[in-house]
Amino acid sequence: MPAPRTPARASSPRSTAQGRTRTTAPTRTATTRATAPTRTAPTRTRAASAPRRDGRPPLTPAEAAALRDALAARDAHVRTVAPAHGRTVAARPGVTPEQLAAARAAVAARRSGGSPSTRTPGRRPAAGRSAVRRAPARSRKKPAPTPRERTGSRWSTRIGVVATSALLLPVVLALGLPAPDQPTGGTDTVTLALTARSSLLEQADRYRQLERAADHRRARLQQARDAEEAAEQRFAAKKSTVGAGAALLYRSGPADRLPVLALDTHTADAAPAVFLQQAVAEQTESEIRAAVVHAQRAASDLRTAGARVEAARADLAAAEARAEEVLVDVRAEVDELSPAVSGVLAGIGTIPVAGPQQDRNDAVMRRWQDYLTRLATAGIAPPPAASITDPAALPDGFSPALDADGRPLPGVVWGIIGTEPVTVLPAETVAAVSNALSQLGKPFVAGSAGPDTYDCGGFTAASWLMGGYALARSPRAQWAGGTAVPVRDLQVGDLVFSPGGADVGMYLGDGDVVGASAATYQVGVRSLAPGASATRVTAPAPSGPNAPLPALADRIGDCGAPLPVPGPVNPAWGGWSNGRIPVEALCRLGVDGHALRCDAAASYAQLAEAYTAEFGATLCITDSYRSFGGQVAAFRSKPALAAVPGTSNHGWALAVDLCGGINVAGTPQWSWMTAHAARFGFVQPDWARPGAEKPEPWHWEFGYIS
């Protein structure tokens, strides 16, 4: 695969303009290991009707048809969220109860004879399999049963959960199978990929829940620290008061503390002054005693505050430890995935786009799956990242990958296929890239991190979470906490940041980057930006944060958003033509199946909330995205009003037709829209205003698109 570069052979190392390294096949030295491929195994084949070794019958054609029919029906259902909460979600596939029952029957019949084995023939665990940098690895030593004795495994247990759970099965069905033109492998491989996807999503959700709990405990810890600081200040003040009073008493003599001793019967006129001095002295002594009591209480409060800080710190450490355990489990699970399963996993769940963008997405997908197929054919199992941190102690069959200057590249190694070295990525990187590619075509929504919509930082964080690494959410925070690598040494899976650090994506090799872009409103493949910076997630953590990238003025917005252009704009987006946008790429408005582009849908939700606050009624809508077929139907029924099919502004998923009074010019509702809709990005085009060539007071658009 060109992405993880395969170094060509030459008589001596040298670098090309692109930073590629030419070298002979690595030889084993004191610090370098390379041997002939040892990860090979015969390919196991059997007739379609032959029973499996574990006694479980194969999936029959009827069962496969029932399962695939259920998967094919996933477009019939979408999930919606009430706009009153100001949220929108992408259209989600689902199944009917009848289709779900048919799929359950197929899966139940599939597992009636046992569970599939988790190990792909020829997969051999690399030495030193352990967790990576954020926590010590937990021991996972297991006896290796013979193939005939195996009747279950981690993944087969997951399959059982999927087969018996009404909650998890629709998720697996909704994921779908890879497209027919993508390499899929056998039925077992597809089943394992579907199950792995469900399991990793479950683990990711679990981690996010624990991380939210940890965030709550961090807030509590900060509150406890603030209270402790306030207690320290109070104690210091009381202590100072007591100290001043004690010093005063130390310096005063008996006459100062007991002025009455100075009374004399011969100076009776001085008695009032003496008694006044005595009262002042007694009051001062009383104040000192009170200050001592207050100081003691302040000291007790300080001890209590300190105890609360320690308790909050312990609670936070426990929450972080539980979250880290999930990451360790994820890394262990992705280490068990064979390259064949990872290749199928990459093709699950993608949303088709249109035109050149789809061709580019397909090309990258084929390149990635071809690379994994080469590894699988050669019997090479991607090693855990923790096992390749030391170039002098690599697992058998691997040698250090070298940069153009002959220095080891952190986080990647070379293996041997035939007589040529090939770059081998860590298992965690393979899982992260495969999951990133499986999100191609998903909509872009600012502030989201999946699984339906993403922004740029949320996309890279979600992708690497499926590989067992927790990243910050924003691009700038990901840059600050990452291990910087030179752009000339980029490897597949590295995070690449645009100049200024406002956008981030994942490198795929050959100058390609995958990310969630605000410029195209979708997850897709784009070119590496000139002047980009990069970090490697699996490399050892840096000793300190990276310096912020220099900010650029008037160049690019967050996640690649183009700067606003005054006046009309081209409404085309995502590579689709008018009316040909798939519903999976849109976000639902929560009303009768209406949908818009996700940024327009989010703004519509805010507009609807403001409208409800003003009028006490929900915002009434009659039309939103109009497919090409819908445009044809509208044109046939109302040729004088409807646009020619393929030219309707509704076909860009950026226009709405409203009702409930807004559809009549001059009403309070229409007047309110005229005064306030622009705050939410919606405007009424000139041609639709009262007195114009084609007045349509009900028609509003997200931006000036016509």
Tell me the CATH number at 551. 3.90.1720.10
Distance CA 383, CA 4 (A): 15
Distance CA 176, CA 450 (A): 17
Residue 371 belongs to a domain = no
Do 613 and 518 lie in one domain? The reply is no
Do 592 and 549 lie in one domain? The reply is no
Final residue before a domain boundary, out of 333, 362, 395:
333
Q: How crowded is the C-beta side of 617, counted as CA atoms within 13 Å?
A: 9
pLDDT of residue 302: 84
pLDDT of residue 262: 59
pLDDT of residue 282: 64
Do 649 and 546 lie in one domain? The reply is no
Structure tokens at 591: 């009303």
Say what angle helices 456-465 and 187-251 make with each other, to 10 degrees.
Answer: 110
Do 543 and 621 lie in one domain? The reply is no
Residue 218 belongs to a domain = yes
Final residue before a domain boundary, out of 318, 333, 348:
333
Residue 497 belongs to a domain = yes
Pairing of strands 682-683, 699-702: antiparallel
Residue 420 belongs to a domain = no
* One-letter amino acid of 701: E
Do 532 and 589 lie in one domain? The reply is no
What is the number of residues in the chain?
706
Q: Are 234 and 298 in contact (CB under 8 A)?
A: yes
Residue 416 belongs to a domain = no
Residue 525: φ, ψ to 5°:
-95, 135
Residue 427 belongs to a domain = no
Q: What sign results for the dihedral spanned by CA atoms 603, 609, 612, 618?
A: positive
Do 551 and 589 lie in one domain? The reply is no
Per-position DSSP letters for 133-146, written without gaps between them: TTSPPPP-------
pLDDT of residue 270: 62
pLDDT of residue 143: 45
Residue 549 belongs to a domain = yes
Strand partners, 516: 523
* One-letter amino acid of 694: K
Enumerate residues 6+ apart whose C-beta is below 8 A from 67. 59, 102, 103, 106, 107
Low-confidence ranges of the chain (pLDDT < 70): 1-187, 242-278, 280-282, 284-285, 287, 553-556, 564-569, 706
274-289 as b/e: b if 16+ CB within 10 A:
beebbeebeebeeebe
pLDDT of residue 404: 83
Do 597 and 697 lie in one domain? The reply is yes
Do 514 and 611 lie in one domain? The reply is no
Residue 448 belongs to a domain = no
- The boundaries of the domain holding residue 318 are 207-333
Give the closest residue to 623 by CA, choosing from 599, 596, 602, 646. 596
pLDDT by residue (tens digit) across 347-358? 988 888 877 889
pLDDT by residue (tens digit) across 432-478? 999 999 999 999 988 899 888 999 999 999 999 999 999 999 999 99
Enumerate residues 6+ apart whose C-beta is below 8 A from 640. none
Do 261 and 221 lie in one domain? The reply is yes
Give the closest residue to 191 by CA, choosing from 100, 117, 101. 117
Q: Are 350 and 441 in contact (CB under 8 A)?
A: yes
Final residue before a domain boundary, out of 560, 593, 626:
560
Do 614 and 528 lie in one domain? The reply is no
pLDDT of residue 538: 92
E-assigned strands of 463-510?
Answer: 483-485, 495-497, 504-509
The domain total for the chain is: 4
pLDDT of residue 638: 82
Give the closest residue to 70 by CA, choosing from 157, 154, 162. 162
Do 532 and 605 lie in one domain? The reply is no
Q: What's the CATH code of the domain at 621?
A: 3.30.1380.10
pLDDT of residue 568: 66
Do 267 and 222 lie in one domain? The reply is yes
